[in-house]
A and B are shown apart, each in its own frame.
Chain A
């Protein structure tokens, strides 16, 4: 998905986002949508498209066979090279809770973030291979 500079005409987000998800996957699309949101801060519908993509990511994470009972673990790569992972404060906090024994459901209770954000961060950490979620 490419984003054109600010203009008075709104891009066809539905088509752009749909095509980008098919061709490049949800995470690439999500990153591009965040860039687009900086260029179109007043575009309400665009915020909706960001949420649609985030929703898809969280739903996919929840549809793992063990769902909320899955127990995330820190990856070997993360344990040996954690300084290579550029975690923000929220991600760092959640990583600190992951001990290989707490299931996703328990992490949602312990996390200071809302349930959706907690799962979204876990999905992002899994995507970046900082954690593994055995099924």
Chain B
């Protein structure tokens, strides 16, 4: 029996009918229609499904949608400012060649944003550790790490959040 729940996604409230067993990634992708969040493995092993819940990166493929009521969910679609300007992490990924096939990108960017929200000048080791829950098979991580570091610098200087 489906239940109508309210999910706050990117500061918009969506009323969606869900079954308790529905996973957040499927509700976001199929019921709300935001397909930026990706499914790479379905078991929480790759990080492609990463979304932010109350600012913390979590794996939406092993999160129940029904358990997310009253929380603030951020998906990749929520990073672009209303003016259309990209978040510094997004811009940095483009500028540094950190995007190849793009499938890991939404999850990776959200994890990076959360990392930089905590500390905008992380060390190389802190960055590597911070994104180690996001698998990328294309880039070898090097340009991703560089992009994150550079975005951190931009954020430090501009005071952007």
> Is B truly associated with A?
no
